[in-house]
Amino acid sequence: MDSCLLCNKSMIYDMSLSFLLSFKRLPKRYVCVECMNQFARIDETRICKACGRQMDKSGVCIDCQKWRQLGDDFVNESIFQYNDAMKDFMHRYKFVGDYQLRMIFQKEIRKKIRKDLLIVPIPVSSETKINRGFNQVIGLLGDIEYVEALMVKEKRKVRQSELNRQQRIHNKQIFTIDPKNASQIVDQKILLVDDIYTTGTTIRHAASVLRKNGAKQVLGLTLCR
């Protein structure tokens, strides 16, 4: 019997007569219904059309209106809201280092991947990679093919998670192109993937570097907003 990766309780599967007679294999699950229901899925009928934030009605949020005033028309899609359940998940996954949790949302990410887009994950610094042991975004991608086209400029000493909102917004460019994979992004439509959209600065910096190095179009996808 499989156990939920979040609460460790045994999971109950649909073993109805109709399912048994269908001769289908039990779908692999990593989280129980009760735990999954703690996450708030974003209602796509009521979102900011620029960043994917949940709103009372569709439109463009105040933050993205400010970005657009600066000439930035970047568009991001998010899947879940950053509520308490997601905050706890991110803490356990990224900072406690529970790497098996990566599997919980891989299916949700896979549903959003278009075949015409080149997938580029947001990178982590070499220091973070050593301390954490993995890039959390690549973990979320699972078996989805991707290109590591970006690198973190190694002079940066403070992690993004340690900066407040204003510090993130005014933070200087932190990314550069990985010369080994630079040619792969030229004239490509790219989907940038990250775990969390906070102020939008990180993913916009990444998109800017990709566009300056030949990408035809850059869109964003984040697990939560």
Give the lowest-confidence range in 146-150, 169-173, 182-186. 169-173
Does residue 158 share a domain with residue 213? yes
CATH number, residue 115? 3.40.50
Asked if pLDDT for residue 93 goes beyond 60, the answer is yes
Structure confidence at residue 172 (pLDDT):
82
pLDDT confidence tier of residue 123, bands split at 50, 70 and 90: very high
Measured distance CA(81)–CA(42) in Å, rounded:
6
Do 16 and 66 belong to one domain? no
Average pLDDT over residues 131-153: 97
User: For the residues of 105-129, what is the DSSP string, one character each?
Assistant: SHHHHHHT--TTSEEEEPP--HHHH
Same domain, 174 and 160: yes
Do residue 7 and residue 88 come from a single domain?
no
Q: 102 and 12 in one domain? A: no
Reported as a single tens digit per residue, the pLDDT across 28-38 is: 899 999 999 99
Instruction: Say if residue 131's pLDDT is above 70.
Output: yes
Whether the per-residue pLDDT at 2 is higher than 80: the answer is yes
Q: Which one has a higher pLDDT value, 90 or 16?
A: 90
Shared domain check, 214 and 105? yes
- Which residue, among 117, 53, 124, has the nearest Cα to 94 in the 3D structure? 124
Residues 27 and 56 in one domain: no
DSSP label at 88?
H
Q: Which residue has the higher pLDDT, 64 or 1?
A: 64
Indicate whether 18 and 64 sit together in one domain.
no
Range of the domain at 182: 41-224
Pairing of strands 217-224, 189-196: parallel
Overall domain count for the chain: 2
**pTM of the predicted model, to two decimals?**
0.88
- Same domain for 176 and 98: yes
pLDDT at 53 over 80: yes
Q: What is the mean pLDDT of residues 102-117?
A: 97
Share of the chain above pLDDT 70, in %: 87
Both 28 and 118 in a single domain? no
Specify burial of residue 154 (Cβ count, 10 A radius: 0-12, 13-18, 19+).
exposed
Q: Is the pLDDT of residue 15 over 80?
A: no
For residues 119-129, average pLDDT: 96
Confidence of residue 163 (pLDDT cuts 50, 70, 90): low
CA dist 41 and 80 (Å) reads: 4
The per-residue pLDDT for 156 is: 54
Does residue 105 sit in the same domain as residue 212? yes
Same domain, 114 and 193: yes
